[in-house]
Structures are given as C-alpha cells and as structure tokens.
C-alpha cells in the first residue's frame, strides 16, 4: 500500500513558504504535478518548481493575492490554461501578524486573518470546486493550527481566523460530499522548518515539555498528512480536523 497521486494536479497556495514548499515536494514525490502559488517570494517559488521538476513531475509558478477574489479567479484561469484543472487544492497561505493582547491588537490584524483564513478558503472553493464536481472527484485540504484549540493569550486574531476557517470547512464538507469531494484540515503544532534549522532554534524546551512526545515535529510530518488526505487512502474521511502536534492538543468527542 502506498500513496499514489499519479495523474493528479495539485495547487498549493503559499508554496514558497516554510510548510508549503515541503508539501509541494511531497505531493510530487507521490506522483502529482504541482501548481506552485506564491505572492511575494518568487525566488523560493522558482526553487520549488526546480525541486518538483527534478522529481520528474510538472510544475509552474503562479502569482496571486489569496485575499482578493478576482486574483484567485485569475489563478484558476492561469492554472487551467497552463496545466489543466486540478483535482487537489491545498490552502496553506496565511498572513501572519503580531501576537498581542486583544486590547492592544490593531483592528487590521483581525481583518487580515479573516481575509487570509476564511475568504482565502471560500475563494479557492468557488474557483476550483466546479471542475471537481464535474469529475466527481476532488480533495480540499486546508492548513489550520493547534492554536485554534489552545486559544492562548495574544492569539486572538490568529485564532479567530482559523476557527472561522474551521466552520467553513465543516459546512463545505457536508455540501460537496455527494460529489465525492473530501474536505479536511491539517492542524500543525510548532513545527521545525527550514527557518529553525538555519537559525539553530530547533530545540524549544519550554514548548516541548507540554508535548506528550516531548519533542517538536518536522515540516515533513505535516506534508505527510496532506499527502494522505490527497490520496484515495482517505476517500472515506471528510470534515476532519487532525492535529499534527505530538498530542499537544487532542480534539475530543
């Protein structure tokens, strides 16, 4: 048994970012072609395309503002013209803002989180689901966070956006399930990515104490779950919020 995505095309938003580029490479390793979305970091997006191409898969870069409906529809049209209709979308991009108390949080931070978490996912659904519905097969995967369950001080804007995202995805899963399209959420903890490796900050003892596995996970752990959700192995799983946090948060029944 293996994850086989041959013949599939995936769009990964924020594919030039810390988790996005590992996700794009992993989907390619499983056989998928990848539309590499970016907004500002073209150099890293070009590197992801080169990595995917080395794996023998097709890849192209596409620039879009995921907080703007017209831009996302342009992304859809460009991907369709250059690569075809994708069967897999991974909504990974997000705007990061400062973590400060509610009383000190600038209003634009909540607005940015709403746009990059909630509207981002709505726009991607409106853009790419019609083609999936016609083919009666599709995978919608979005990146949430363990913070949505923790609700720690300073996280209000981020948590508001991600919890709003959660509601939209659960409703969407019920609305498109009859078309054999699954909708699932991957919720990372504080993962080790290239930024931590380059700065030598992989070890975070204060955080690790709260994790049952007593360590931080890797970006690859997130990408592995995305690949699973993208495959036929998860064909009867939809509406899920799955934590990749070493047990730091545990969704309950």
Judge whether 207 counts as a catalytic residue: no
CB 182 within 8 A of CB 193: no
Q: Is 103 helix (H, G, I), strand (E, B) or coil?
A: helix
> CA end-to-end span of the chain, whole Å?
30
Query: 48 is written with which tokens?
Result: 């992801």
Asked if 232 contacts 88 with a C-beta cutoff of 8 angstroms, the reply is no
Two tokens, residue 223: 């990408």
CA distance 209 to 130: 45
Pull the structure tokens for residue 38: 């970016």
Q: How far apart are CA 137 and CA 156, in angstroms?
A: 36
List 123, 158, 207, 241, catalytic entry? 158
Active centre residues (catalytic): 158
């Amino acid at each position: 048994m293996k994850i086989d995505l041959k013949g599939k095309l995936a769009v990964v938003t924020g594919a030039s970012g810390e988790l996005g580029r590992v996700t794009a490479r992993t989907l390619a390793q499983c056989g998928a072609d990848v539309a590499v979305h970016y907004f500002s970091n073209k150099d890293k997006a070009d590197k992801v395309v080169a990595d995917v191409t080395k794996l023998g898969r097709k890849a192209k870069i596409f620039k879009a503002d995921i907080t703007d409906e017209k831009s996302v529809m342009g992304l859809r049209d460009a991907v369709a013209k250059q690569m075809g209709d994708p069967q897999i979308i991974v909504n990974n991009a997000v705007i990061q803002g400062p973590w400060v108390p509610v009383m000190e949080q600038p209003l634009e931070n909540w607005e940015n989180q709403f746009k990059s978490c909630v509207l981002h996912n709505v726009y991607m659904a409106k853009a790419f689901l019609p083609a999936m519905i016609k083919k009666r097969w599709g995978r919608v995967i979005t990146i949430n966070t363990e913070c949505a369950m923790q609700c720690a001080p300073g996280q209000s804007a981020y948590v508001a956006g991600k919890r709003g995202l959660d509601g939209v995805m659960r409703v969407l899963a019920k609305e498109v399930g009859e078309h054999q399209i699954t909708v699932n959420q991957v919720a990372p903890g504080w993962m080790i990515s290239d930024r931590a490796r380059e700065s030598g900050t992989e070890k975070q003892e204060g955080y690790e104490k709260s994790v049952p596995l007593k360590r931080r996970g890797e970006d690859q752990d997130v990408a592995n779950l995305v690949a699973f959700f993208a495959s036929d192995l998860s064909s009867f799983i939809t509406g899920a919020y799955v934590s990749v946090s070493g047990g730091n948060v545990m969704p309950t029944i």
